[in-house]
Structure 1
Amino acid sequence: MARYVFITGGVVSSLGKGIAAAALGALLQARGYSVRLKKLDPYLNVDPGTMSPTQHGEVFVTDDGAETDLDIGHYERFTGRSAVQADNITTGRIYKNIIDKERRGDYLGATVQVIPHVTNEIKDFVIDGNEDYDFVLCEIGGTVGDIEAMPFVEAIRQLGNDLPRGNAVYVHLSLMPFIAAAGELKTKPTQHSVKELQALGIAPDILLVRADRPIPPEERRKLSLFCNVRSTAVIQALDVGSIYDVPSAYHREGLDTEVLAAFGIDPAPAPRMSAWEEVSARIHNPEGEVTIAIVGKYTGLKDAYKSLIEALNHGGIANRVKVNLEWIESEVFEQEDPAPYLEKVHGILVPGGFGERGAEGKIAAARFAREHKVPYFGICYGMQMAVLDAARNLAGIEDAVSSEFDRNKGTAVVGIMTEWLKGNQLEKRAANGDLGGTMRLGAYPHPLKAGTRIAEIYDSTDVSERHRHRYEVNIDFKERLEEAGLVFSGMSPDGLLPETIEYEDHPWFIGVQYHPELKSRPLDPHPLFASFVGAALEQSRLV
């Protein structure tokens, strides 16, 4: 039977519960255990799919088409296990499920209440489908004391009693701030946070304490005494140079040892940490560096591009180089010449996005990369903007636009496809449908044309990648664009949806309709990002 680790947070948000959960999962895997990670999000949205990237960060998409919290991406990157819809749930989906059941009469006329109906729904989510795993790590979003998180905290309290004795362990992540005026690290915020958790019926087994400097032994003893936690279970979580240093750092501090001891697993299998040590060595001892310009529209919040940043770092790991990122708001290129911004970079990446704002600047970036032979990687929207550059400046379609801009102006070289095949099933969407319903979401297979650069990079012509977009390159213009030199190197199996483009006469110019960054991992960098960073390294020798 699976053992459960429940991870809560206190004092402030953004302490890194997702990284902590993912790193603990990686440590348990290093000891030979199978692991599953789940995330409980307290917000009322059914999923983050319609939330602004500048407010919530990126939306991480799974193979089965779930739009999930960005922490799910950390789980995948650290454990290598592909997440599914059932690994992330929100208050919105919990209540939607309950209301649907109530309307159907499933509760047989009972008064539907937070306890037991909401908490039972949460518990069902936590324990379902875990038969094949040794450990299930469940992260509760937000901080202890948040009113919206109360049902989740109550549900995991109940699970502590519902599960067999010794099958649930509680890890609480807290903050120990340094007060410069006093010259001291302060334990009181953690004490109050644990007191709040205890008042809700949960006594943490392990304290994971974030700090920016080593915690003195006397302060750790104080936390142990006042928080009713074994002294060895007060684990300091110090800042590190890279998130990929976290598994090794937590192992040195004894987190995985304490978790296993809390379950009565002693002695535990020895961990194999060599892979993570190699990743850290490559990060901290690069043999060179490259600069990549990211021309986007959400550059004010880097979490909007979290998986993209990490995938570029993975490309750096694969090539043993440091990847420096030059963030450029695409609207700048609608007013200014891109040359001063781009002539010194070694690669240009235009990421995904939605809406017309900044589109012309992205087209200008694609044109600069094409004309100046700078490695270019266009992802989703970035591919579409490269196609519009080709249409306008090579194929003579001067008024080429996307119908996402204005359906009544210009020639829609990019638009909404209303039907396509996914396997043997016909899928449909409407321009005026719910925002979530108009998306092409999840993993789609697509063959690559043999002999193309992208097929060589994948070392295969059979590829499946994750999608999240509404608009497609209009197949009606494919022949004309090909005559102008644009190569459509990958198409959907039914031949209706362009998936990848490239130029034969360019050192490295690839656009993809999907999001390869979602499948890149530090121990297994995505081949496109490894190749792109490699091309940037070659470019750095020319600049």
Structure 2
Amino acid sequence: MARFIFITGGVVSSLGKGLMAASLAALLQARGFKVRIRKFDPYLNVDPGTMSPYQHGEVYVTDDGAETDLDLGHYERFTGVSARQADNITSGRIYRDIIAKERRGDYLGATVQVIPHVTDAIKNFARAEIDDLDFVLCEIGGTVGDIESLPFIEALRQLRNELGRDQTCSIHVTLVPYVKAAGELKTKPTQHSVRELTSLGVQPDVLLCRCEHPLPDNERAKIAQFCNVRKEAVIPALDAQSIYSVPLQYHAEGLDAEVLRHFGIDSSVAPNLSRWDDIVDRYQHPEGEVNIGVVGKYVGLPDAYKSLNEALVHGGMAHRVKVNIRWIDAEVFEGDDSEIAARLEPLHGILVPGGFGVRGTEGKIASVRFARERKVPFFGICLGMQMACVEAARNTAGIEGAGSTEFGEPSEPVVGIITEWMGPEGLQQRGAESDLGGTMRLGAYEAKLAGNSHVSAIYGATTIWERHRHRYEVNGAYRERLEQGGLVFSGMSPDGLLPEIVERPDHPWFVGVQFHPELKSKPFDPHPLFAGFIGAALAQSRLV
């Protein structure tokens, strides 16, 4: 029977509950347990798919096509367990489903209420598809005290009563701030946060205390006394050099041992953390470095490209080099050739990521042209591939007026809205007037690679499965003219209709992909495209 670990946060947001959940799951895995992590998001959006990256960070897409919270990316990267639709729920999705049932008459005339209907739906979500697991980690989004999170905390309380304390563990992540003027760490915010949580009927078993300075023994004892937990259950969580050292750090502080003690499980046999030792060693002791420019639209918020950032780091780990990422706003390149040269010449590789909307697209096209003409390794992802095709159409294939229908009505629609494709449920059809939410080509799809292509050599295969999230596609009608200009379509959908990958054989490393390979990269298993891109950048650095 699966045991549940509930993770809540208090005092302030952005304390790293998702990273904590991923790290604890990795530690439990290292002890031989099977784990799965789930995220409960209290906001009223059905999913984050229509939210601006500046509001919520990146949208993480699963193999089965769910648009989810970015924390699911942490979960996958740290555990290697593929996330799925059943691992992320929002208040919006719960209320949508409940109201749909009420309209159908499923409740047989009953008054529909938060208790029991909403809390039952939350509990059903937590307990779904867990038969083969040892531990289910459930992270509650937001901060204790938020109005929107109350139904989730109540569902947590009910689950603890129904399953018993021996089958559930509550971990509360709090902040122990350092007041510089007083020269002291202050425990009062943690005390108040725990009091708020216990007033809702949930007594935490373990406290993870985020702090910038070491937590003295007497302060741990004070927190334990006021918060009604064991002193050993007060776990300091200091800022780490990198996120990949967090599992080792938490293990050293006794987090996994304390959780197992709570469940009555022997923790005397040390976990096998050799994989994490190697990851940290590669990260902290590089044997070189490369400079990569990411020319994007949302560069003001690093979380907007969270998986991309980590995938580049993984590519560096594959070659034991440090990757210096230069975030460049694509708009600065529009109409200023001198700025393009000044920003891009010092780089060893240029990456143009995905995005939506017209802002910055001409700057992205200019970046593609610079990479193509200067023979700098180039990697285009989703919109980045589309802009590479528009650049090729304009500058190597002689197609004047080439553009994308996403941004207007170009005379030559090299990129256009995808109206139908074959999905797991059969033929999928969309139109320009379709709802924005959940209507894109989402999830893992198969692609066939040309046997003599650069990408087939990188993958070591001619059939791949990669995750998609896009509404527009390169127009296959332009394939012949683009290939005459030197851009080869080296990856296609199995039916040969949808372009998946383009490359330039006359270039050291020039690859554009319609999918999002960053979503499948892991520190212990770097994605081959990112490993290949960083390898090409490393070769470029030795030529400069």
* TM class by smaller structure: over 0.9
Aligned partners of 2:107 and 2:424: how far apart in 1? 38
Deviation of residue 268 (structure 1)?
A: 5.0
**Residue 165 of structure 2 is aligned to residue 188 of structure 1:** no
Deviation of residue 423 (structure 1)?
A: 6.1
Contact persistence 2:473–2:499 (CA under 8 A): yes
> 1:284 aligns to what?
284
Aligned partners of 1:303 and 1:267: how far apart in 2? 35
Deviations 1:514-540 (A, max 9, x none): 000000000110000011001100001
Deviations 1:309-367 (A, max 9, x none): 00000001111000001111001110322111101100000000001110000000000
Deviations 1:96-134 (A, max 9, x none): 111011111111111111111110010000011111100
Q: Which amino acid aligns with 1:294?
A: V
Aligned partners of 2:130 and 2:534: how far apart in 1? 38
**Residue 495 of structure 2 is aligned to residue 494 of structure 1:** yes
Question: What is the root-mean-square deviation of aligned Cα atoms in Å?
Answer: 0.9
> 1:461 aligns to what?
462
Go from structure 1 to structure 2 and tell me whether the alpha carbon gap of 1:382 and 1:480 turns closer, same or farther (over 3 Å shift).
same
Q: Which amino acid aligns with 1:419?
A: E
Aligned partners of 1:385 and 1:438: how far apart in 2? 22
Aligned partners of 2:268 and 2:469: how far apart in 1? 42
Which consecutive residues of structure 1, in runs of 5 or more, have no partner in the other structure? none
Q: Which amino acid aligns with 1:353?
A: G
Aligned partners of 1:422 and 1:101: how far apart in 2? 27
Aligned partners of 2:175 and 2:121: how far apart in 1? 31
Percent identical pairs in the alignment equals 68
Aligned partners of 2:520 and 2:267: how far apart in 1? 35
Deviation of residue 422 (structure 1)?
A: 3.1
> 1:395 aligns to what?
397
1:339 to 341, 350, 356: 341
Contact persistence 2:49–2:438 (CA under 8 A): no
Go from structure 1 to structure 2 and tell me whether the alpha carbon gap of 1:175 and 1:437 turns closer, same or farther (over 3 Å shift).
closer
Aligned partners of 1:48 and 1:292: how far apart in 2? 28
Aligned partners of 1:114 and 1:405: how far apart in 2? 43
Q: Which amino acid aligns with 1:78?
A: F
**Residue 426 of structure 2 is aligned to residue 425 of structure 1:** yes
TM-score by length of 2: 0.99
Aligned partners of 1:423 and 1:209: how far apart in 2? 44
Contact persistence 1:429–1:437 (CA under 8 A): no
> 1:108 aligns to what?
108
Q: Which amino acid aligns with 2:67?
A: E
Deviations 1:175-200 (A, max 9, x none): 00000000000000000000000100
Contact persistence 1:332–1:361 (CA under 8 A): yes
Aligned partners of 1:15 and 1:419: how far apart in 2? 42
Deviation of residue 164 (structure 1)?
A: 3.9
Aligned partners of 1:204 and 1:157: how far apart in 2? 11
Q: Which amino acid aligns with 1:284?
A: Q
- What does 1:397-412 correspond to in 2, within 5 Å? 397-407=399-409, 409-412=410-413
Q: Which amino acid aligns with 1:443?
A: A
- What does 1:111-510 correspond to in 2, within 5 Å? 111-337=111-337, 338-407=340-409, 409-422=410-423, 425-510=426-511
Mean Cα deviation higher: 103-112 or 440-449: 103-112
Contact persistence 1:32–1:269 (CA under 8 A): no
Q: Which amino acid aligns with 2:189?
A: P
Go from structure 1 to structure 2 and tell me whether the alpha carbon gap of 1:191 and 1:445 turns closer, same or farther (over 3 Å shift).
same
Deviation of residue 86 (structure 1)?
A: 0.5
Deviations 1:158-213 (A, max 9, x none): 00011144000000000000000000000000000000001000110000000011
Q: Which amino acid aligns with 2:266?
A: D
Stretches (4+) displaced over 4 A: none
Contact persistence 1:430–1:438 (CA under 8 A): no
Go from structure 1 to structure 2 and tell me whether the alpha carbon gap of 1:478 and 1:118 turns closer, same or farther (over 3 Å shift).
same
Q: Which amino acid aligns with 1:486?
A: L
Aligned partners of 1:525 and 1:482: how far apart in 2? 30
SS at match of 2:407: coil
Go from structure 1 to structure 2 and tell me whether the alpha carbon gap of 1:267 and 1:288 turns closer, same or farther (over 3 Å shift).
closer
Contact persistence 1:68–1:88 (CA under 8 A): yes
SS at match of 2:397: coil
Deviations 1:408-456 (A, max 9, x none): x321000012122236821111111001254110000011000111000
SS at match of 1:315: helix
Contact persistence 1:307–1:518 (CA under 8 A): yes
SS at match of 1:144: coil
Q: Which amino acid aligns with 1:403?
A: T
> 1:81 aligns to what?
81
Deviations 1:222-261 (A, max 9, x none): 0010000100000000111000000000000000000000
Size of the alignment, in residue pairs? 542
Deviations 1:292-318 (A, max 9, x none): 000001011110000000000000111
Aligned partners of 2:268 and 2:126: how far apart in 1? 25
> 1:90 aligns to what?
90
SS at match of 1:501: strand
> 1:541 aligns to what?
542
Aligned partners of 2:141 and 2:404: how far apart in 1? 38
Contact persistence 2:257–2:267 (CA under 8 A): no
Aligned partners of 2:346 and 2:431: how far apart in 1? 43
> 2:71 aligns to what?
71
Contact persistence 2:39–2:140 (CA under 8 A): yes
Q: Which amino acid aligns with 2:240?
A: V
Deviation of residue 269 (structure 1)?
A: 4.2
Contact persistence 1:331–1:357 (CA under 8 A): yes
Deviation of residue 369 (structure 1)?
A: 0.2
Go from structure 1 to structure 2 and tell me whether the alpha carbon gap of 1:423 and 1:164 turns closer, same or farther (over 3 Å shift).
closer
